[in-house]
Structure 1
Amino acid sequence: MTTHVFIVDPTTFKIHLEYLFAGTGAQDNNVDFNSNSKTSLHPTTENMLIGMIADGSRVRRGDQVIFYLQQDFAKKIFEGKFYGIFKAPGDWSFLDNNDHQQHLKNELEKSLTFRTLIEPYKVYGEGVTEWEALDEIKNMTSPNQMLWSLIYRKLKGNRGNTMITIYEAERLIQLIRNKNNRTELNCQNKLLSFDATTQKIVCVNEQRRIYVGRKEEINLLPRLVAKFRANKSFEAHLQAYIVRNLGKGTNTSLDQTIIGDAQIEWLGNEVSCGVGMQRIDVMPSVVQDDQRVLIPIELKAVEANEKNIIQIQRYVDWIEQYYIPNRQSDIKPVLMAKKTANKTTNNYHMLVDSLNRFNQKNSNRCARLQFVGIEIGKDGLIFEEVPY
């Protein structure tokens, strides 16, 4: 179960609570590539929107949702605060495109294009301040216990839907519970809302509101395939595709290659692993035979080369220092790239040498580095482990 943190302001937070949905958007951009191989958007804009789709695609039924209310001095929000806890009743975000029909656009005072329905789970009135969650180190014995996913998001200005790890979610939720003396709101048959004056989630004696907006299913495969065949960069699209489909039975070759018959317990994308720009493209945590396995996946829209191994080594180093002390797991790194057309080149031999050196160096630290090739088949993407 993954926990997703959605960024809100006082206006949007009230609407999210009253209509029970969360969402992200990007100014006035309109998505024209859904179920479509072409787009009129600039590649930078397209990739930004694809990134948001990837974030929404990691939402699975039963996942938890927490809201982060941003600091806004003009509205007397002097500290950012975390509120929760809600759950996702279904898989994935849906599309409500940016046009005059977009549901609640006027009330939100902005466009939220990618949306996720939510339902109350354990809702608490008071929010935990950013300082309490991210800066206070009381009861911590090591830096790796800090909520690094949220700290990295703050440093890098990441998108409006950030996942946090299982152990980070446990800590943040306990902080929220303690802030509220472990007392949940009882809003049965009442409307949830946000009181901007007291900065609390409240129960209102009004009838619950029903979300009636459009819920267009998102399909990036035609666009991904078109970019693949045109030899254009498709890493962002591939990430969104994998996050959406991994473990869902929609692409057998993907499931068999990456997770086998293991069950996903947590799923992350763009997982920050340092104060620089290092991010793990996709990282599921799976459970098989009662053993947890963390799978950092490096994606490449071109054929792999030896430099990719340097990045994976950094991922393993970071995971060992920051993740494993909090949640003991095996590590199974994966390099996924466009299928190599010619394996007789010097570049390919150098890649294989690098793969073997990595395995020798890390034999006691992680599983053998898995190399996966991607190609286009009759029915879409085919993923295949490459022996080396």
Structure 2
Amino acid sequence: MIRGHVFVVNENTLPIHLKYQFVGTGAGDRDSNISLLADMLRVKEGDYIFFYIEGSENKKGRFFGIFKSKDNKVYHLKGEDAKKPNLPKKLIYRKDIEPYKVYSEGVLEFIALDKLPIYSRELLWMLIYRKMKGKRGNTMLFPWEVERLLNMIKDENNGNIITCKDGYDFDNQNFRIICGDKKYYNHGESFRLNFNKRDINSETAFQAYIMQELKIENNKYYPEIFGKNIAWIGNEVFAGAGMQKIDILTIEKADCDDILYRIIELKYVKNNNLDDIKRAPKQLEYYIKWARDDIGGHLRNAKSYNTKPILLILDKTNNILSNPENFPKDVLSEIKDLNKISYEPEIWVMDFNNNIEKIL
């Protein structure tokens, strides 16, 4: 199952990405942004990398490819180092990439996003949602979306790839990738989050840590929750034109062609206030209906028997784990009731001492 991610660039940054073969995201003048970090940690070794260059008054936006993520490492640069080498703006989170099948010409944004295909399911919904919601510099694609974008770029170039012995560059005048001189930049030591109350101090930080720990195909980080044979990972997955986003979505590949969609809602409990948890059943219900192929129709072949909702709670103060009888009975009942439209709903609670308990 193929995985891919689109990185937003411009005429000034794309040549540098191509010459030095890395991707990056930035948060203006800030040196950290946990949401951007979570997005970057989602990108795994071997994932396809596409560039989207923003349009201007004289040139239309285009999608270029195809590169691959070189490894699982993420780098965090701060201050003026985040503008190196020769960048017009700070890119604080980075990953190294390598060429896969590089095509010279890009696919126009109009063709990729606005031109209507025969079937609505062929639309690149993740990129359309990204455009509507705005300015996500690193957007994941569903496997079928990756395949469609790959084919569009291939067709635009009549299947002709460019093989450059010494690296790649970008021709701003003609808006195309060309051969150039490969350069190298040392980003420093790779970055890792630690599972403690200082690093994991919010729900988004919890999500970022999970993105860091999950592995493709042979996942050992709580496989009972996230799946063992993971084929695809998504975070902050747009689920409709509103503000709804699925915290974590994994696709687990079972025997033969069977798959299991795991829709995971995260909650970070700092004290005894469980009000946020009470929102979880309705959130999960909405995601299930958005996802199921026979209802919402956004996840291919997602049915009631292979769409699994999970509520995962990180209990900072250990109040739930030490007193599970105080867990809201209405939440327990409502999530259990989701088995009418999904597969075996579950509730898990963990703390910073690596204690974990299945409540449902």
Q: Specify which of 270, 274, 277 is matched with residue 305 of structure 1.
A: 277
Are the equivalent residues in 1 in contact too, given 2:262–2:310 (CA < 8 A)?
yes
2-structure distance, mates of 1:185, 1:322: 37
Task: Give me the whole-angstrom Cα distance separating, in 2, the residues matched to 1:129 and 1:237.
Answer: 35
Identity of aligned residues (%): 33
Alignment equivalent of 2:170, drawn from 194, 201, 225? 194
Gaps of 5+ in 2: none
Counterpart Cα distance in 1 of 2:108 and 2:355: 46
The residue aligned with 2:78 is 97
Asked if 1:151 corresponds to 2:136, the answer is no
Residues 271-319 of structure 1: per-residue CA shift (max 9 Å, x gap) = 0011110000111111122321111110001256342110001111111
Asked if the contact 1:167–1:327 (Cα under 8 Å) also holds between the matched residues in 2, the reply is: no
Q: CA separation of 1:121/1:327 partners in 2, compared to 1, >3 Å: closer, same or farther?
A: farther
What stretches of structure 1 of length at least 5 have no aligned partner?
A: 32-48
Which residue matches 1:208?
Answer: 182
| Distance of 2:230 and 2:40 partners within structure 1 | 17
- Taking the aligned partners of 2:177 and 2:302, their CA distance within structure 1 comes to 32
For residues 251-266 of structure 1, the aligned pairs below 5 Å read 254-260=221-227, 262-266=228-232
Structure 1 moving runs of 4+ over 6 Å: 248-251, 326-329
TM-score, with length taken from structure 1: 0.83
Q: State the 1:225 CA deviation.
A: 1.6
2:139 partner amino acid: T
Amino acid at match of 1:342: N
Identify the residue that residue 238 of structure 1 maps to in structure 2.
206
Partner of 1:40: none
Alignment: residue pair count: 344
Deviation at 1:351, TM superposition (A): 1.5
Report if the CA contact (8 A) 1:247-1:255 is conserved: no
Counterpart CA distance in 1 for 2:171 and 2:334 is: 57
Give CA deviations for 1:27-74 in whole Å, capped at 9, x if unaligned: 12124xxxxxxxxxxxxxxxxx0001101101111111000001122x
* Counterpart AA for 1:96: L
* Contact persistence 1:58–1:92 (CA under 8 A): no
Following the alignment from structure 1 to structure 2, what is the Cα–Cα distance between the partners of residues 24 and 348?
Answer: 40
* Aligned match for 1:116, one of 95, 105, 108: 95
2:37 is matched with which residue?
A: 53
Q: Distance in 1 between matches of 2:218 and 2:351?
A: 16
Map 1:68-147 to 2 at 5 A: 68-73=52-57, 76-77=58-59, 79-99=60-80, 101-102=81-82, 104-105=84-85, 107-138=86-117, 140-141=118-119, 143-147=120-124
Contact kept, 8 Å, 2:216 with 2:232, in 1: the verdict is no
Aligned AA for 1:80?
A: G
* Counterpart contact for 1:343–1:349, Cα < 8 Å: no
| Structure with greater contact order relative to length (CA < 8 Å, sep ≥ 6) | 1
TM-score normalised to structure 2 length: 0.89
Instruction: Write the letter of the residue equivalent to 2:267.
Output: K
> Are the structure 2 counterparts of residues 327 and 317 from structure 1 closer, same or farther at C-alpha, using a change threshold of 3 Å?
closer
Which position in structure 2 is the counterpart of 1:43?
none
**Which residue of structure 2 aligns with residue 285 of structure 1?**
251
Contact 1:67 1:83 in 2 (8 A): yes
